[in-house]
Amino acid sequence: MLFERIESEGLAHYSYLIGDQREAVVIDPRRDCEVYIEKAYSEGLRIKHILETHRNEDYVIGSVELAARSGAEVWHADAQWDYEYGESVEDGQTWKLGRLMLRAIHSPGHTPGSMSYLLHDHAGAPWVVFTGDALFAGDVGRVDFLGMDRAEEMASLLYDTVFNKLLPLGDEVIVCPAHGAGSLCGSAIAERLWTTIGLERRHNPKLQYTAETEFVAHVARELERPPYFRRMEKWNLEGAPPLGSLPAPKPLSPDEFTEQAKQAMVLDTRMELSFGSAHVPQSLSIWLKRLPAFAGWFLPYDQPILLVSETENSVQATRYLIRMGYDNLAGYLSGGMLTWHTAGLESKSIRTVTVQQLCHLLDEGEETAILDVRSDEELEKAGRIPDAQHIHITQLPGHLGEVPRDRTVYIFCGSDVRSMIAASLLQRGGWTDLAVVLGGLAGWNSVTCTLE
């Protein structure tokens, strides 16, 4: 028997490969799907079925790609929508898998046609339930995808799913959701790497609202929705274009890069401190590890993308971008910024200051603008900077005009990664006097400014 959880870091997406006696199933595969093929092969398993828990909105599902390469059949949840590939799952449908058995449980709420899949072990006992985006460790799925006007209706469906379908499976059943901590699909997913129905029943904050009205009141909230979700929804209905193998972006000389940059978006995935020191003019800073979380907010689909990165990281960046449908990678700056500078090309920088330095300036009465790009939730939890302007990083592109241009803008986030994203957006917009505060609010809270 094989039971593997495959995590796609950054998106905190979990997919699962389950196999027994030459047969395997993959639940919610990702698009760069060689991992399933290789693991299945090395265990002597043939991938027979691909099960989707719902029409995903936060990544390109790999069903079409994996089906093309493995010969497996694709099974959709959310049959109310029109798919251009695969078959629709029906509530109660079962799949044999060697000595194991999977059964579909209609689990609406996150989407109208979400499915959970209950895995019975070889003795027939209910063992593991794959809950998709219905139930997470410490959270439930968001219900605002059909619009806020239908959020309460969806929350009510989710209440029924959770309390009348999932919890009754028994405290002992293991819960395998589609996301872990860090996903955009649940605002408060806990860092409990493996969980059970009982652990959720007892410790999941949302599941403490046992009255439906209370549950609905707390769950029917609007959450942010990055623009790229729309493309994901479309592609996951149509089936994404096949890749074959992971594309290798082309190495470009500074001259070639400069030429192509005229039509392209330059994405710099280096750490924020490197970006601060020097970067290609007009480039956007998103540190590699945060790329899955932020690319979808700021990267367009209608322009080619050029990468600036440490060489070793281009493969990973490509993987991340492909998972979000950014297939139009035009190349990367070969040799990195060192080559750029030795070619005598001009670069830009963005200043950094430590919290202490900023405190000192503030103490001395310097007139400054402080821009805080954290979310409302973070403001509540970690506190506010006095007199700071607040625009959440995700909303910045539409609210640039509100940021002052006549003073140094000191930018805060939780640490300093998002501040550099913000700084790069502002610099692209023409701002010249910017400073990223190192350590951000965490640093601010660790020192004492004498501010009064």
- Among positions 158-197, residues that touch a copy of itself (CB under 8 A) are 170-174, 190-194, 196-197
* Residues 286 and 294: beta-carbon distance below 8 Å: yes
Q: Which residue stretch of 50-58, 83-91, 339-347, 365-373 sits at the interface with a copy of itself (rule: CB under 8 A)? A: 339-347
* Residues 141 and 131: beta-carbon distance below 8 Å: no
Q: Which residue stretch of 109-117, 149-157, 200-208, 209-217 sits at the interface with a copy of itself (rule: CB under 8 A)? A: 200-208
For residues 71 and 300, which CB has a smaller minimum distance to a copy of itself in the complex?
71
Of 59, 127, 130, 209, which one interacts with a copy of itself (CB under 8 A)?
127
From residue 396 to residue 425, the character string flagging contacts with a copy of itself as x (rule: CB under 8 A) and all else as - is ------------------xxxx--------
Q: Which residue stretch of 211-219, 227-235, 292-300, 433-441 sits at the interface with a copy of itself (rule: CB under 8 A)? A: 433-441
450 binds a copy of itself (CB under 8 A): no
H-run or E-run covering 435: strand 434-438
Q: Is the dihedral of CA 309, 311, 315, 318 positive or negative?
A: positive
- One-letter amino acid of 260: Q
From residue 308 to residue 327, the character string flagging contacts with a copy of itself as x (rule: CB under 8 A) and all else as - is --xxx--x------------
- Provide the minimum distance between the beta carbon of 176 and a copy of itself in the complex, in angstroms, as a whole number: 9
H-run or E-run covering 296: helix 291-298
Contacts of 178 (CB under 8 A, 6+ apart): 13, 14, 15, 28, 53, 56, 130, 131, 132, 133, 185
Q: How many residues does the chain have?
A: 452
Of 125, 148, 217, 223, which one interacts with a copy of itself (CB under 8 A)?
125
269 binds a copy of itself (CB under 8 A): no
Q: Which residue stretch of 151-159, 217-225, 365-373, 439-447 sits at the interface with a copy of itself (rule: CB under 8 A)? A: 439-447
- State both tokens at 104: 């579909």
For residues 88 and 357, which CB has a smaller minimum distance to a copy of itself in the complex?
357
Burial class from Cβ neighbours inside 10 Å (0-12, 13-18, 19+) for residue 304 reads: middle
Q: How far apart are CA 104 and CA 418, in angstroms?
A: 40
Burial class from Cβ neighbours inside 10 Å (0-12, 13-18, 19+) for residue 344 reads: exposed
For residues 144 and 272, which CB has a smaller minimum distance to a copy of itself in the complex?
272
* Residues 119 and 101: beta-carbon distance below 8 Å: yes
How many residues belong to the site for a copy of itself (CB under 8 A)?
Answer: 83
Query: What residues pair up with 26 in beta bridges, in sequence order?
Result: 17, 50
User: Which residues in 358-397 contact a copy of itself (CB under 8 A)?
Assistant: none
Q: Which residue stretch of 82-90, 159-167, 343-351, 390-398 sits at the interface with a copy of itself (rule: CB under 8 A)? A: 343-351
Q: Are β-strands 46-51 and 23-27 bridged in parallel, bridged antiparallel, or unpaired?
A: parallel
SS3 label, residue 137: coil
- Scan for tokens 């505060």, then name that residue: 437
Contacts of 38 (CB under 8 A, 6+ apart): none
For residues 261 and 417, which CB has a smaller minimum distance to a copy of itself in the complex?
417
For residues 22 and 234, which CB has a smaller minimum distance to a copy of itself in the complex?
22
432 binds a copy of itself (CB under 8 A): no
Of 88, 163, 182, 201, which one interacts with a copy of itself (CB under 8 A)?
201
- Provide the minimum distance between the beta carbon of 250 and a copy of itself in the complex, in angstroms, as a whole number: 5
Q: Which residue stretch of 57-65, 152-160, 226-234, 330-338 sits at the interface with a copy of itself (rule: CB under 8 A)? A: 330-338
Of 103, 218, 341, 405, which one interacts with a copy of itself (CB under 8 A)?
341
H-run or E-run covering 237: helix 228-238
Of 132, 186, 276, 292, which one interacts with a copy of itself (CB under 8 A)?
276
- Provide the minimum distance between the beta carbon of 291 and a copy of itself in the complex, in angstroms, as a whole number: 16
> Distances from the Cα of 158 to the Cαs of 69, 110, 124, 163, 172, in angstroms?
35, 7, 27, 8, 21
Of 9, 41, 91, 230, which one interacts with a copy of itself (CB under 8 A)?
41
Contacts of 122 (CB under 8 A, 6+ apart): 1, 20, 98, 99, 100
From residue 215 to residue 254, the character string flagging contacts with a copy of itself as x (rule: CB under 8 A) and all else as - is -----------------------------xx--x-xxxx-
304 binds a copy of itself (CB under 8 A): no
